Amino acid sequence: MDKLIITGGMPLAGEVAVSGAKNAALPILCASLLTAEPLQLTNLPHLNDISTMLRLLAQMGVEVTLDGPAGLVLDAKGLNNPLAPYDLVKTMRASILVLGPLVARCGEARVSLPGGCAIGARPVDQHIKGLQAMGAEVTVEAGYVHAKAKRLKGARICTDMVTVTGTENLMMAAVLADGETIIENAAREPEVVDLANCLVAMGAHISGAGTDVIRIRGVERLSGAAHRIMPDRIETGTYLCAAAATGGEVRLTQTSAAYLDAVVDKLMDAGCDIVTERDAIRLKAPQRLKAVSLRTAPYPAFPTDMQAQFMAINAVADGVATIRETIFENRFMHANELMRLGADIQIEGSNAIVRGVDRLEGATVMATDLRASASLVIAGLVAQGETTIDRIYHLDRGYERIEEKLAKLGARVRRAH
């Protein structure tokens, strides 16, 4: 199993390009199921989750053709197997995103209950309730969600909780439904907006994406389209945190601060100097960061996917910070690993109290989930001596060529088998 070996203590400096967003690409790949015409996508990241989703679509009958270094054409005219089997779904929770499009286009879907990161309960009941409201018959048997509907009907759906994949699934189901669907308490994430933009390019009628009420007027059929995947805001935030923690100065290209207000604000509170350009961000770190407290909440508030990275920078900041996690109940698993490097962290329920220390020392640590892995990389870049991060397959699910990009910024990092 691969591991990363980092020799810390070097400030990051230079310029690196940010990849396309995994969390936008996955639902947009599933949108290809909604049409018999080709969907051309560019700026796709090379990640394990993307490869898994492409294998899943291919076994349903979708033809996948490479189109340049970060592009694909997906053609689902031969869609003939509306099944998402356990062996493909077990590693990736986003597989549930095929459910809505399959029911909408094929009238039926059988999708295994998903896996993914071990960061707490992420139930799919909101997806099921929404499809039932649109007239689908849904049963859960032998670990599979089985949904059937001759044609879905427009409905008013109010989710019990804000759910990104739930909003995306129901939006895709609704674009081919008969009549108007209104999704209330919808997720407002930029990735939801990116999916909506792609669907609109395919001929869907959608308004309100990016607000908590999305209206969709169903159409008979969708056509093909060309769409560029948005930049990955979490990758962007992670590299900004790595530069901040190491006292570095970097410029990130092919990205935008527009999706990252809460993160940029906190980095500026920590003492960083940040300049935003139209499609780039510059960060210059102070000699020592100031501790910043934060509370995670759905977009546009501070993202839960950046919580672990800020725990790492607070570990070496001046002062004491309180981090409150409100989204996932066991998303502090990285704290124990950071403590192995010398961090001073106390967990009290959904709060973590982080007291900044003068230095971290290299050690062997283990990644427990995707963003926890990123926090350990940041800590390893700061720590004196050598840090080995085991089980980095989590990292490869969300960060494209992370060791190459960090090396380009001057980090001493290598992958070992």
* Binding annotation: 22-23, 93, 122-126, 305, 327
Q: Which residues contact 371 (CB under 8 A, 6 or more apart)?
A: 234, 305, 306, 307, 308, 309, 331, 334, 398
117 as an active site residue: the answer is yes
For residue 206, give both structure tokens: 């959608």
Which three-class secondary structure state does DSSP give residue 308? helix
Query: 68: how many CB neighbours lie within 10 A of its CB?
Result: 9
Burial 174-198 (b: 16+ CB within 10 A, else e): bbbbeeebbbebbbbbbbbbbbbbb
Which three-class secondary structure state does DSSP give residue 362? coil
Longest dimension (CA), the chain: 64
* Residues linked to residue 148 through DSSP beta bridges, in sequence order: 108, 137
Q: Which residues contact 77 (CB under 8 A, 6 or more apart)?
A: 36, 37, 63
Spatial CA neighbour of 32 closest among 81, 80, 74: 74
> Cα(57)–Cα(365) distance, rounded to whole angstroms?
35
> Cα(372)–Cα(305) distance, rounded to whole angstroms?
9
For the purposes of burial, counting CB atoms within 10 Å of the CB of 26, is it exposed (0-12), middle (13-18) or buried (19 or more)?
buried
Choose the catalytic residue: 30, 106, 117, 158: 117
Strands (E) located in 159-286? 180-184, 205-207, 213-217, 225-228, 249-253, 273-276, 280-284
Q: Binding site for phosphoenolpyruvate: residue ranges?
A: 22-23
Contact between residue 173 and residue 134 where contact means Cβ atoms under 8 Å apart: yes
Query: 348: how many CB neighbours lie within 10 A of its CB?
Result: 8
Q: Binding site for UDP-N-acetyl-alpha-D-glucosamine: residue ranges?
A: 93, 122-126, 305, 327
Packed helices 190-201 and 164-174: angle between N→C axes, nearest 10 degrees: 10
Instruction: Give catalytic residue positions.
Output: 117
